Amino acid sequence: MEVKEVVVVVKWSGKEYKIVDLTDQDTVEMLRHEIYRKTQVRPERQKLLNLKHKGKPAADNVKISALELKPNFKLMMVGSTEADIEDACSLPDDIGDVVDDFDDAEDRDESVENSAVYLAKIQRRVRDYKITELSKPRAGKKLLVLDIDYTLFDHRSPAETGTELMRPYLHEFLTSAYEHYDIVIWSATSMRWIEEKMRLLGVANHTNYKILFYLDSNAMISVHVPERGVVDVKPLGVIWALYKQYSSSNTIMFDDIRRNFLMNPKSGLKIRAFRQAHLNRSKDTELLKLSQYLRKIAINCKDFSMLNHRKWEHYDPKKS
């Protein structure tokens, strides 16, 4: 299938926003999601005035290719951001993160992973996303990709200092992992936020390990899942395309949200979320246990894609 990139300019509140992250194979629902990423106007609040299909307002399931948009098409939108809406303060700001996971679902079918539309989006990230290396990749190392929020750090509990919100054994974990793995941090937030948190936690300039680079929300892509709608995910293909030494055979990714692995279900390990730091600081030993798992598979397993990370606690090198 041939996939074409589509650029739409949205006019809203007297400003223009360029939506570049679309292909003609995406749907109106995806367009709305991308508009949301740019403007913070939630899809259900967007009124897209001149988006028509067969003379009627275009429904969410209509493909962009069917809209026959002219080059330099300008889409007129009316809508309010949550911040502008009175009842916004009653909504938790991470509602999407917490509620919308795939815990109840089995691993997704591979069609999502291989779909031409998503591969095109990954290509665009590979082309346009600028990675700033903080250290150099080391020969023969495997790759560990880590989420921040609720994985390494609890950003929502009350605390006096950043270190109180740090997951216990974080530095021990990173020191141990560094022996066999190059380490990448990937968070669905902004680069500024990531840099600040990593400095605050003392990760940015630790003497026992180095971070290879950080990735932020702009390296993520949006995918459409039939029963869930559009969600943002972290496709490892972005890293694998730029760093050929890493692949599904030597990469593992930790996240407390399973849907972030949607493009790479076999490479993801869903870590138990670290929440309520003030209550759990003294008992959480997840990172210690995971250190041992990382060490064992690095030494014993030639191909990580053969592993089932859902059963990481029962991993036995003799049986695999």
Q: How far is the CB of 234 from Mg ion (least distance, A)?
A: 10
Q: How far is the CB of 302 from Mg ion (least distance, A)?
A: 30
Which among 274, 268, 265 has a CA at the least distance from the CA of 254? 268
- According to the binding rule CB under 5 A, does residue 26 interact with Mg ion? no
Mention every residue, 6+ apart, whose C-beta is less than 8 A from residue 116: 1, 3, 25
Determine the Cα–Cα distance for residues 138 and 178; give it in Å rounded to an integer.
10
- According to the binding rule CB under 5 A, does residue 286 interact with Mg ion? no
Among 17, 36, 102, 150, binds Mg ion (CB under 5 A): 150
Mention every residue, 6+ apart, whose C-beta is less than 8 A from residue 114: none
Q: Which residue is nearest to Mg ion (CB)?
A: 149
Determine the Cα–Cα distance for residues 36 and 182; give it in Å rounded to an integer.
34
Q: Which tokens hold the place of 130? A: 């600028």
Read off φ and ψ for residue 183, nearest 5 degrees.
-120, 125
Q: Report the DSSP pairing between strands 213-215 and 181-186.
A: parallel
Tokens 């395309």 sit on residue: 241
Tokens 């560094």 sit on residue: 178
Residue closer to Mg ion, measured from CB, 97 or 107 = 97
Contact stretch for Mg ion (CB under 5 A) within 112-120, 140-148, 161-169, 194-202: 140-148
Contact stretch for Mg ion (CB under 5 A) within 18-26, 159-167, 236-244, 252-260: 252-260
Q: How far is the CB of 223 from Mg ion (least distance, A)?
A: 18
- According to the binding rule CB under 5 A, does residue 284 interact with Mg ion? no
Contact stretch for Mg ion (CB under 5 A) within 35-43, 99-107, 144-152, 229-237: 144-152
Q: Judge contact between 122 and 230, C-beta under 8 A.
A: no
Q: How far is the CB of 257 from Mg ion (least distance, A)?
A: 6
- According to the binding rule CB under 5 A, does residue 149 interact with Mg ion? yes
Query: Applying CB under 5 A, what is the total number of residues that bind Mg ion?
Result: 4
List of residues contacting Mg ion (CB under 5 A): 147, 149-150, 256
